[in-house]
């Protein structure tokens, strides 16, 4: 897969991160996209595209992990719906913060134990 934003990030390097660290990184881009949404649509779009790029890399990294694969594909679907379509799932900034905050917490705890 050709990357636009994370050109130097290889699949092997991305796999070195724990799943929670990967998700926390995706969440950081989602948070940026949300915070720029009303201020600068272009910055918001670019942050959203970076989030999708990392999410696609994560999908590539977990190819045969059934429950994670299902969660990640649903996550992608709902993010695209929220940022680009009619928000049929009823997502909001708070629900995304709650979802990704759990991964941020877990990633910080994982890093603290190392």
The answer to whether residues 22 and 54 touch, using CB atoms and an 8 Å cutoff, is: yes
- Backbone CA torsion sign across 47, 41, 98, 80: negative
Confidence of residue 65 (pLDDT cuts 50, 70, 90): low
Cα distances (angstroms) measured from residue 46 to each of 13, 29, 49: 22, 9, 5
The answer to whether residues 26 and 54 touch, using CB atoms and an 8 Å cutoff, is: yes
First to last CA, the chain: 31
The range of the structural domain enclosing residue 26 comes to: 19-113
**For the chain, how many structural domains are there in total?**
1
Summarised one tens digit per residue, pLDDT across range 8-39 is: 888 899 999 999 999 999 999 999 999 999 99
Average pLDDT, the chain: 91
pLDDT of residue 8: 83
Answer yes or no: is 5 within a domain. Answer: no
Answer yes or no: is 4 within a domain. Answer: no
**Which residues have CB under 8 Å from 66's CB, separation 6+?**
none
Answer yes or no: is 14 within a domain. Answer: no
pLDDT at 1 over 60: no
């Amino acid at each position: 897969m050709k990357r636009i934003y994370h050109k130097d990030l290889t699949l092997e390097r991305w796999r070195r991160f724990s799943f929670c660290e990967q998700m926390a990184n995706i969440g950081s881009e989602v948070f940026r996209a949300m915070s720029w949404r009303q201020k600068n649509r272009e910055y918001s779009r670019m942050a959203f595209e970076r989030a999708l790029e990392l999410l696609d890399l994560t999908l590539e990294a977990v190819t045969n992990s059934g429950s994670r694969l299902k969660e990640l594909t649903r996550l992608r679907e709902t993010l695209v719906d929220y940022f680009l379509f009619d928000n049929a799932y009823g997502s909001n900034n708070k629900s995304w913060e709650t979802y990704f905050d759990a991964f941020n917490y877990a990633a910080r705890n994982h890093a603290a134990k190392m």
